[in-house]
């Protein structure tokens, strides 16, 4: 068990063992500490879909996808990962928030989501070594040079001080741009092995300067971005951060206790919520198999800082169990693809959400474009 600098066990280890969140209705409002209020505790999780234009401008398919879930009653709607710089773009059809030229489309999307009563939130993203250099024409960069054996992988260069100053400003400018467009908030993508997560990683970050080494320095980029974003937007504007708490898939070199410490620092830096990307929300931690991550995260944070959780949440019972473990809001991904009216239907006794596989025709009826269907085919047995 990790000890703090004073040699004491961190408080969350002492409290989380007996921590039990009071039962909160899935359909009660959630007010963030700046004052913005979601009408319920069900969020649309950010999902890669490739539905924007080659320029990064909002596509009609992207708008239709989000609007359909807004009309379905989701209390908060988080966009796909939107790149803050062209050299951070990771796939074709990705939404851009890197230029004022995108403001008309962003404003259109923000207005449409607000019309339905939910909170529109843009996930801000930089791919780092997972960016696609063929889209930007520039070499990728990361915390340091990093070798991987995946096909077509190109070793990134180590970020310079100028790179880091620029990317911090790009995140802050993108957040301000989203507020001007009328969104309720942004979410920093600090999970899944993208740039902000790469700096947190003890394996991907091999720097020997003030941006690497001890956790306090590996967390510096994410904390600087959070602080600068908070300084550029109004107090009511929501600032969230998504984290991978432990190693999973492309997120490597992460430690549970380090992630909990990072979460506490981000709360102090101005984050209004922490979004735990769990993949399987019912699973206990890898590091301590007898403990679940949500009570640990909830106990580590001030009560006014909300906890979101995502990870194979399908039914209302799954969602309620996630709230009982300490989350303030659940984020639905695959369940929201197949069930765009999930929040409305879940109020009815006996509701059971549709599960895969689903035909391309039925997905189209749920505002899932052929492009998005093509992406969903990567998921085994999801598309019939």
Which class for 84: exposed (0-12), middle (13-18), buried (19 or more C-beta within 10 A)? Answer: buried
Decide if 12 contacts 92 (C-beta within 8 A): no
The string of pLDDT tens digits covering residues 271-301 is 999 999 998 999 999 999 999 999 999 999 9
Q: What's the pLDDT band for 338 if we cut at 50, 70, 90?
A: very high
The tokens describing 369, both together, are 């474009």
Residue 120 parent element (H or E)? strand 119-125
Q: Is the pTM of this model over 0.75?
A: yes
Residue 359 phi/psi, 5-degree rounding, is: -70, 160
Over range 320-325, report the average pLDDT: 97
Query: Domains in the chain, start-ordered, CATH in brackets?
Result: 12-353 (3.20.20.70), 355-384 (no CATH)
> 69 and 336 in contact (C-beta within 8 Å)?
yes
> What does the alpha-carbon distance between residue 96 and residue 125 come to, in Å, rounded to a whole number?
9
* 11-20, 40-49, 210-219, 285-294: least confidently modelled range: 11-20
Say which range, 56-65, 132-141, 334-343, has the weakest mean pLDDT: 132-141
Q: Which residues contact 380 (CB under 8 A, 6 or more apart)?
A: none
- CA distance linking residue 238 with residue 272, whole number of Å: 6
**Residue bearing tokens 């922490």:** 274
Mean pLDDT of 151-174: 95
State the Cα torsion 130-106-309-245 to the nearest 10°.
30
Q: How confident is the model at residue 153 (pLDDT cuts 50, 70, 90)?
A: confident
Q: How far apart are CA 219 and CA 197, in angstroms?
A: 9
Tokens 């769990």 found at: 278
């Amino acid at each position: 068990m990790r000890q703090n600098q004073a040699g004491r066990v961190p408080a969350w280890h002492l409290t989380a063992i007996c921590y039990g969140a009071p039962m909160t209705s899935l359909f009660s409002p959630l007010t963030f500490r700046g004052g913005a209020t979601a009408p319920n505790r069900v969020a649309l999780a950010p999902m890669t879909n490739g539905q924007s234009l080659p320029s990064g401008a909002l596509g009609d398919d992207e708008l239709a996808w989000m609007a359909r879930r807004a009309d379905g009653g989701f209390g908060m709607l988080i966009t796909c990962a939107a790149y803050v710089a062209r050299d951070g773009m990771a796939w074709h059809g990705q939404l851009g928030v890197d230029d004022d030229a995108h403001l008309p489309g962003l404003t259109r999307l923000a207005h449409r989501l607000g019309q339905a009563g939910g909170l529109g939130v843009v996930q801000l993203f930089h791919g780092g070594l997972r960016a696609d250099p063929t889209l930007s024409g520039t070499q990728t960069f990361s915390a340091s040079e990093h070798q991987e054996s995946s096909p077509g992988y190109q070793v990134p260069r180590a970020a310079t001080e100028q790179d880091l100053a620029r990317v911090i400003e790009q995140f802050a400018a993108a957040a301000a741009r989203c507020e001007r467009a009328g969104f309720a908030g942004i979410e920093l993508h600090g999970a899944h092995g993208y740039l902000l997560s790469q700096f947190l990683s003890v394996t991907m970050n091999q720097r020997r300067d003030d941006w690497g080494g001890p956790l306090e320095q590996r967390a510096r980029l994410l904390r600087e971005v959070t602080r600068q974003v908070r300084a550029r937007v109004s107090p009511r504007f929501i600032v969230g951060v998504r984290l991978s708490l432990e190693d999973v898939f492309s997120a490597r070199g992460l430690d549970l206790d380090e992630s909990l410490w990072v979460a506490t620092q981000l709360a102090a830096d101005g984050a209004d919520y922490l979004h735990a990307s769990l993949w399987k929300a019912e699973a206990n931690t890898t590091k301590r198999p007898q403990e679940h991550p949500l009570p640990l995260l909830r106990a580590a944070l001030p009560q006014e800082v909300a906890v979101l959780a995502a990870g194979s949440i399908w039914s209302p019972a799954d969602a309620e169990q996630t709230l009982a473990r300490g989350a303030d809001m659940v984020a639905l991904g695959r369940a929201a693809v197949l069930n765009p009216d999930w929040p409305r239907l879940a109020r009815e006794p006996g509701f059971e959400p549709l599960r895969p596989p689903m035909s391309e025709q039925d997905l189209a009826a749920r505002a899932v474009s052929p492009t998005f269907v093509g992406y969903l085919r990567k998921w085994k047995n999801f598309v019939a």
